[in-house]
Amino acid sequence: MGKNDTSFMAACVQMRSGLDRAQNVKDALALIEDAAACGATFIATPEMTNVVDRKGGRMLAALPDENALEEIAAFSAAAKRHGVWLLIGSLAVKQGDKAANRSFMFAPDGKVVARYDKLHMFDVDLPGGESWKESKVYQAGVDAVLVNTPLAKFGLSICYDVRFPTLYRELAQAGADVLCVPAAFTRQTGEAHWKTLLTARAIENGAFVIAPAQGGNHEDGRETYGHSLIIGPWGDVLAEADNDAPGAIFAEIDLKKAIEARQRIPNLTLEQNFKISIVNQ
């Protein structure tokens, strides 16, 4: 923990993952080691830590099932070696004829204590001809996940999930005081909405938001926004990467701040059930 028994140091690892899974893991492990050396006891990596490949067929052809995915053993060993809580924002994992976009939470003893599969698929057509159809390659998850640890209660999510506020509201009402949003936001949507969406999720839930990102021009031709963020429960930016380069940002997470924010604005407990009445003129 940090200065007191309600605080800890968190790190967001920003990456620029490519096509080579082994190289991506090597890059991630180096950044995780640096973050641990700087005192972080909770370290989070971005979405698609192990591979960024927009050609789904090529990615799937080279991707094993979870029980044969070497990345898991590597990250388990890293969590144990550094004695940290490690959230691998997501790994592509073969699942039937598709892949899962799956987060893994590792405890300081190296055990996988939680998995979360991205619920919402990024199926969009953007201005300028940019188009994404994640559901063609990835199988959507079905369950939200809250991880209760000695550091905090972490609500898990991935990237496009951030546009669905009811997910975060239910996680917060279930006890989450830290919301994790590992991502690979496109530059177009990132420039427009990344910081605003993350800040909104923090404010409306009185929770910390930890959002490690992919950033820059990737081997597969895509461009991601970077600008990893750690935001406090009052909407204050605690740490922000001002670019899209690989690296890490750090912030102290003091859970008393979440308690204070929720006492000031008790919207989590005052929410009312309602129905919509439609008035036709």
At residue 31, does pLDDT exceed 60? yes
Residue spans of the domains in the chain: they are 7-265
Query: Given this model, what pLDDT does residue 122 score?
Result: 81
Q: Which of 47, 71, 94, 153 is catalytic?
A: 47
Q: What band does 4 get if pLDDT is binned at 50, 70 and 90?
A: low
Count other C-beta atoms under 10 Å from residue 230's C-beta: 27
Q: For 276, which DSSP code? A: P
Verify whether residue 180 is a known catalytic residue: no
| Pairing mode of beta strands 146-148, 153-156 | antiparallel
> Amino acid letter at 117?
D
Q: What pLDDT is stored for residue 3 in this prediction?
A: 52
Residues 6 or more apart whose Cβ sits within 8 Å of residue 205 = 168, 169, 171, 172, 176, 179, 233, 268
Which residues are CB-contacts of 215 (< 8 A; sequence separation ≥ 6)?
14, 15, 16, 224, 225, 226, 227, 228, 241, 243, 244, 245, 246
The Cα 270–Cα 274 span in angstroms is: 13
Q: Check 94, 134, 159, 257 and give the catalytic one.
A: 159
Q: How many whole angstroms separate alpha carbon 113 and alpha carbon 281?
A: 54
The catalytically annotated residue of 12, 71, 94, 118 is: 118
Supply φ then ψ for residue 155, to 5 degrees: -95, 125
- What integer pLDDT is reported at residue 257 of this predicted model? 98
Query: Percent of the chain having pLDDT more than 90?
Result: 91
Quote the pLDDT of residue 123: 75
Reply yes or no on domain 7-265 having CATH 3.40.50.620. no
Q: Any catalytic annotation for residue 271?
A: no
Identify whether 47 is a catalytic site residue.
Answer: yes
Q: What is the mean pLDDT of residues 164-189?
A: 97
| pLDDT single digits (tens) 228-264 | 999 999 999 999 999 999 999 999 999 999 999 999 9
What's the average model confidence in pLDDT over 113-142? Answer: 85
